[in-house]
Amino acid sequence: MKIKDSLLDPDVFLALIKNNRLKKLVLENVYGIDSCFQQLQNLDSLEILHLCGIDIEEKTLLDLIKKNPLNELSFTTIHVDPSRLFSVLQKKELRDLFIDLPVENAHLALLDNNRHLQSLSLRDASKIDLCGLLFLQNKPLSELELIGLKKWDVSYVYFLQKLPLVFFSLEAEDFTDGDLISLLDLSLTHVKIRHCPNISEKGIIEFSEKAKSQIEIIYGHRISFNTKYFKLKSYTKGGFYEFIPKDYAYF
């Protein structure tokens, strides 16, 4: 069940969740149902839980996570203590996890026993470093997003090479052209670089000429193109860019 951008009557919502065999619950910016969240504790079969902009109490949320056999958990703009959350997640076998809480190395250590994690998005990675990420090295991660890293160095690439990654998204203040080129050593199909001020037009062009992956760079203005077939010819911070085919045989 998915409800998005709605003002909902509490009785209607309670009727919708009366079926406690729900497998999926997605609530995004839903208003008028704050008094109903205690009733969510009757659910015990959820495999997918996505919450955004919902004023749910921490205890209710943690109880909901504990009680359900979740494979996917995603929430943003939800107030919950990260340490208490990861203490609960320590006992789960999640496949996908997407959160915008400030995560620390010690929190990632609590995921060490999770052998099924395939997709991890940390929207506030400002407090973690390579020591924390090493707790992920034995997981089948194919998608990884790290937003707000304070420091990047070549050792991260060596770590990433040990993962079966196909998608990588990053925001790091000191990420440079050389760091971007080093990602060519990974078997990625999609690269997303967010607001890395030390990447230049030269680095973007060089990456696009050599890459076999799709790249999306948010760099002043968003540019997105498939570098399997195209290479970037020129780009300026003003958002003007030109790309040309790598091989005209495709067209």
Cβ 193 vs Cβ 208: under 8 Å? no
User: Along the 251 residues of the chain, how does pLDDT read in single tens digits?
Assistant: 888 878 888 888 888 888 668 899 999 988 888 888 888 888 899 999 999 888 888 999 999 999 999 999 998 888 899 999 999 999 999 999 999 999 999 999 999 888 899 999 999 999 999 999 999 998 999 999 999 998 888 899 999 999 999 999 998 888 888 998 999 888 888 888 887 778 776 787 788 777 776 777 665 444 445 455 445 554 444 444 444 444 433 33
Give the range of the structural domain holding residue 63, as residue numbers without chain letter.
1-70
CATH code for the domain in which residue 246 is found: 3.80.10
State the SS3 of 83-141: HHHHHHHCCCCCCEEEECCCCEHHHHHCCCCCCCCCEEEECCCCECCHHHHHHHCCCCC
What gap in Å lies between CA 106 and CA 124, rounded to an integer? Answer: 14
Q: Domain check: are 112 and 236 in the same one?
A: yes
Q: Domain check: are 100 and 217 in the same one?
A: yes
Query: Is the pTM higher than 0.95?
Result: no
Q: Domain check: are 60 and 145 in the same one?
A: no
Domain boundary among 30, 50, 70: 70
**Total number of domains in the chain:** 2
CA of 65: how far to CAs of 11, 15, 23, 78, 207, in Å?
24, 21, 13, 14, 41
- If phi > 0 it is left, if psi is from -120 to 50 it is alpha, else beta; for residue 202 that is alpha
Domain boundary among 70, 86, 107: 70
Q: Domain check: are 85 and 192 in the same one?
A: yes
Domain boundary among 10, 41, 70: 70
Q: Domain check: are 41 and 129 in the same one?
A: no
